[in-house]
Structure 1
């Protein structure tokens, strides 16, 4: 009588007669139900394994799309937990040994087995594979907590470093030591200490991402490998989550118990480029965290590596800057050459860094904002603040005054990026026709189709779209024909060589003429000399921006500046 247990057999055999014989023999095996799935090619076998991992694979090596013994490795990759029994007509001892060495659990000579023998072979192959998997698990996983052990940690760390090096990414290694664990072990016993370690491992696994490695290195020492991180900002956020998770009480001996943890962090490549160095430096940082008061963390930095230290500190300080109101906007006027009035202003971000006696210009911190992703929330703050300010100027009598705001590639690449722009316009009450969003050429190049969709949706709000810093990237006016744009801003680098490079006036003239031919207004930025003004006016440039007219101004100063200098100019102030 057959049992209710069913063994799923994947039979990979291109000879229909041989396959029929094997299926018939399996149907006669006593006490076992075999569910046989027959395929005739390696590719079909790989597809079948994707749908369902078989309990065992019976494999003929002479398939039309197979490569001899290499077929075993290919099937192992498709079904790593499934045992493989090779079916062959070859009695050569070398072939048999090679098949076993390649990863097969057994090898059977075709036509030389009956139901009882085939059934035993399958049973033992499954048992051997299960033993192999259990030994592999014991070799790589901590028997107490079930997480990775030191051996698997080192393997994963080696692979993670190679990946980070290849993709030029940051990698973080955390070394975690439980505070006062020895006291718990000594006072409550090792069984309670073991239960605490199990609960700690579970909590660490719950905090990190699925593909991050959590390992127990020994005793109460844990380690975490964080891969695919953009910056120290991400590490900082994850570490704070871990500390918060471990601060919650642990249920031990029927009561709540509290522990802390000290965490040392070493970043690849700043703190080392190999596992041993990173582990050593993470350990040093962990002891520094303990010295700082326990239940704390510390990021390792070489004291003489001032650049690395400054970069990490800036990332940390930028994270707090928005919540502490350290950012502000200055506005540089746009001079309209046709009317002689101040047409609008560009909003420029400045950082009131407490550790500096002057405003920090964006060139020093925008790359860090982009890298960390902070550009998204700060970019939204910039747009909202600029729109509110523009609306305020309207109420003060600056009729038809508009504001230009830079938008980063990361902001525009957000799904439905136009939604938050529209929401800010509604919140502030600013009509879209008074807003000009400035984008760079690389936004158009990275994903032209999506960029065009986003630009069209933005323009449907009445918002103008400018290409900023034209001349520093792809710089093809014909390429711009593919996009619905309003304004082209010529990069300041052209004006700096206007008097020294004979080609510059020719190029500027061509850019202005061709841009007008495409229906675009032209703005020249970086105008500092009267000679530059005269040339741009002669070529029909529409608007100018630069220190010849005004530096970026605090919003309270802009209205007075216009009243003092342009009060008679065609209603600049209504």
Structure 2
């Protein structure tokens, strides 16, 4: 039976001899015949005289180069399906690689070629050609046998031949699909994780050899899960496709964009002129993602957090560099969504401590490690206590007493924020019950608790009603404080939930007002009773005329909306005097009292009221 044939085309005598020797002396060398050519024209003549299993074609040749030769070979019906593998020394030119694939290349190798890789590449085509030759031989034998058979038998044999040919086609298509799935993300067509890691390893080797800079950018979409859950997976896929296009448009032509899965993307930047160029590309990506996405009939807003790791200072291996970029991206999401963060060694320590804290947080409730501290809100004119704010504290067995700001973000990331929030509401109701039963002269003071946005999505009205009923206290015992910046993320949802709570008799305050940049129309739509001026505007009263003007404007706006005003962070008599002059209703801060445990707070407040 005939052997499969390989055509080797190379105009460089030394390269031709080296490749010929490699192929002839390989373990599979006796399974095929090798024909050589030293130019594109000679290769075309060989294609007219022979059928080849595969053609190994040099890119750079005088006269007719490899791309022109490939195009001519594939333009002829006889040779249109012959697979071509380009071999070139121009490994840094990604456009040549793309050009090769556009001219129908089955693969693209960079010399010097690793023998095992070349042999494994051609073995697939040799085996396929051998099977085709076997099938052709079988067909010839069947033809000889069938000359004396009846017409029906001929038809049956034709069906068999058709099935065999169909099997060959299916096998070829399966091989093509398998190759595509192995190297490309099926949704976006970008490189997948496997391809990226291969390319990154190669890029690190090149950078080490030539002393070049390299950067790896990890990108993660913010709020993608909520978008996917709300609009469905088809909308989520549409968003990912648009994101992939925007990232690709933001990078340099030489940069590699890959999708690791979900909403995680990676950009590999080789041969950087400076590390600042990595930040520049990161900013372009972030800015492009900030513009609305048109999904179906809706405009969707999201943002991207980018972490950047640099070679070699942030890692000198593929695994260490990817880990550093991932940590930097996670740090960006924690610091400020839609931001860029470079990796530094401190992140390692911080992330390890964060992970440990998240693990310990899972046992804090069951170990009864939480406690509410209380800080009074005092009337400006009379000096009497007007309310109380409950502030969460964690008696951490390893770190000591922690304020809420030190662990709330960890609680949000571990999904425990809603559970802890319900505990806070329940503990505040229980304390209100104790004060009512004690017979003291301030049992009806409302206790303010802070509420985070995840709680609004977790049946907050039902949670509050359940705790009020459990401890037998009226709705007026509670006051909710919602951070302004959190409310404006989803005004429609917040308004609906807060209206239901307000109608039950619970007062609602906007906390940290002045930092979230909400509009007047938003404030009018929300069922709120109180504005709490953020302490950043109170801190420099008497020193900064700008802060004085801001506080005065907030007070005047509150008056127009029939809202009470509470100033946070009051620490000096001068601040208190100015706030009284501006017409602020209530004050809260260290000037009166630090947050105290319930027992100490009770004694302190009895002393203040008696004064």
Q: TM-score, normalised by structure 1?
A: 0.52
Question: Shift of the alpha carbon at 1:334?
Answer: 0.9
Question: Shift of the alpha carbon at 1:438?
Answer: 0.7
- Equivalent residue number for residue 371 of structure 2: 328
Matches within 5 A, 1:532-571: 532-567=575-610
Question: Shift of the alpha carbon at 1:422?
Answer: 2.3
CA-to-partner distance for each residue in 1:519-568, whole Å, 9 max, x for gaps?
Answer: 11111011111111111112221111111111111101222212222136
Secondary structure class of the residue paired with 1:481 = helix
In the alignment, the residues of structure 1 paired with residue 323 and residue 451 of structure 2 have an alpha-carbon distance, to the nearest angstrom, of 42
In the alignment, the residues of structure 1 paired with residue 392 and residue 446 of structure 2 have an alpha-carbon distance, to the nearest angstrom, of 17
In the alignment, the residues of structure 2 paired with residue 373 and residue 305 of structure 1 have an alpha-carbon distance, to the nearest angstrom, of 23
1:394/1:401 contact within 8 Å kept = no
- Equivalent residue number for residue 387 of structure 1: 429
* 1:363 equivalent among 405, 415, 419: 405
CA-to-partner distance for each residue in 1:221-252, whole Å, 9 max, x for gaps?
Answer: xxxx99779xxxxxxxxxxxxxxxxxxxxxxx
Match status 1:443 vs 2:486 = yes
- Equivalent residue number for residue 374 of structure 1: 416
In the alignment, the residues of structure 1 paired with residue 492 and residue 216 of structure 2 have an alpha-carbon distance, to the nearest angstrom, of 31
In the alignment, the residues of structure 2 paired with residue 361 and residue 317 of structure 1 have an alpha-carbon distance, to the nearest angstrom, of 15
Secondary structure class of the residue paired with 1:430 = coil
Question: Shift of the alpha carbon at 1:123?
Answer: 7.9
**Greater relative contact order (Cα < 8 A, sep 6+):** 1
Match status 1:400 vs 2:444 = yes
Q: 1:140 to 1:273 in 2, by over 3 A?
A: farther
CA-to-partner distance for each residue in 1:456-491, whole Å, 9 max, x for gaps?
Answer: 111122111111001122154453112121110000
Greater per-residue helix proportion: 2
Unaligned stretches of 5+ residues in structure 1:
1-90, 104-114, 142-150, 170-224, 230-266, 282-300, 569-574
Q: 1:381 to 1:528 in 2, by over 3 A?
A: same
* 1:165 equivalent among 218, 228, 231: 218
- Equivalent residue number for residue 154 of structure 1: 194
Unaligned stretches of 5+ residues in structure 2:
1-74, 82-100, 107-154, 183-190, 202-214, 223-259, 265-306, 325-343
In the alignment, the residues of structure 2 paired with residue 444 and residue 226 of structure 1 have an alpha-carbon distance, to the nearest angstrom, of 31
Question: Shift of the alpha carbon at 1:159?
Answer: 12
- Equivalent residue number for residue 455 of structure 2: 411
Secondary structure class of the residue paired with 1:360 = strand
1:268/1:278 contact within 8 Å kept = no
Secondary structure class of the residue paired with 1:350 = strand
Question: Shift of the alpha carbon at 1:384?
Answer: 1.1
Q: 485-494 vs 320-329, which deviates more?
A: 320-329
Q: 1:359 to 1:99 in 2, by over 3 A?
A: closer
In the alignment, the residues of structure 1 paired with residue 408 and residue 173 of structure 2 have an alpha-carbon distance, to the nearest angstrom, of 53
2:570/2:589 contact within 8 Å kept = yes
- Equivalent residue number for residue 129 of structure 1: 170
CA-to-partner distance for each residue in 1:65-95, whole Å, 9 max, x for gaps?
Answer: xxxxxxxxxxxxxxxxxxxxxxxxxx97399
2:200/2:318 contact within 8 Å kept = no
In the alignment, the residues of structure 2 paired with residue 431 and residue 555 of structure 1 have an alpha-carbon distance, to the nearest angstrom, of 20
In the alignment, the residues of structure 2 paired with residue 527 and residue 349 of structure 1 have an alpha-carbon distance, to the nearest angstrom, of 20
* 2:393 equivalent among 341, 350, 370: 350
* 2:565 equivalent among 522, 537, 549: 522
Question: Shift of the alpha carbon at 1:335?
Answer: 0.6
CA-to-partner distance for each residue in 1:423-443, whole Å, 9 max, x for gaps?
Answer: 222222221122111111222
In the alignment, the residues of structure 2 paired with residue 341 and residue 389 of structure 1 have an alpha-carbon distance, to the nearest angstrom, of 20
Match status 1:482 vs 2:525 = yes
In the alignment, the residues of structure 2 paired with residue 517 and residue 303 of structure 1 have an alpha-carbon distance, to the nearest angstrom, of 49
1:160/1:227 contact within 8 Å kept = no
Q: 1:448 to 1:160 in 2, by over 3 A?
A: farther
Question: Shift of the alpha carbon at 1:308?
Answer: 2.9
Q: 1:277 to 1:548 in 2, by over 3 A?
A: closer
In the alignment, the residues of structure 1 paired with residue 431 and residue 361 of structure 2 have an alpha-carbon distance, to the nearest angstrom, of 23
Secondary structure class of the residue paired with 1:320 = coil
2:491/2:522 contact within 8 Å kept = no
Secondary structure class of the residue paired with 1:165 = strand
Secondary structure class of the residue paired with 1:167 = strand
Secondary structure class of the residue paired with 2:397 = coil
Once superposed, what is the RMSD of the aligned Cα atoms? 4.5
In the alignment, the residues of structure 1 paired with residue 584 and residue 575 of structure 2 have an alpha-carbon distance, to the nearest angstrom, of 11
Match status 1:337 vs 2:380 = yes
Secondary structure class of the residue paired with 1:498 = coil
2:216/2:308 contact within 8 Å kept = no
Question: Shift of the alpha carbon at 1:272?
Answer: 6.8
Secondary structure class of the residue paired with 2:388 = strand
In the alignment, the residues of structure 1 paired with residue 422 and residue 316 of structure 2 have an alpha-carbon distance, to the nearest angstrom, of 37
- Equivalent residue number for residue 475 of structure 2: 432
- Equivalent residue number for residue 554 of structure 2: 511
Secondary structure class of the residue paired with 1:472 = coil
How many residue pairs get aligned? The number is: 346
Question: Shift of the alpha carbon at 1:158?
Answer: 7.9
In the alignment, the residues of structure 2 paired with residue 380 and residue 159 of structure 1 have an alpha-carbon distance, to the nearest angstrom, of 49
Which has the larger Rg?
2
In the alignment, the residues of structure 2 paired with residue 466 and residue 496 of structure 1 have an alpha-carbon distance, to the nearest angstrom, of 21
Matches within 5 A, 1:32-111: 93=77, 97=81
In the alignment, the residues of structure 2 paired with residue 273 and residue 362 of structure 1 have an alpha-carbon distance, to the nearest angstrom, of 38
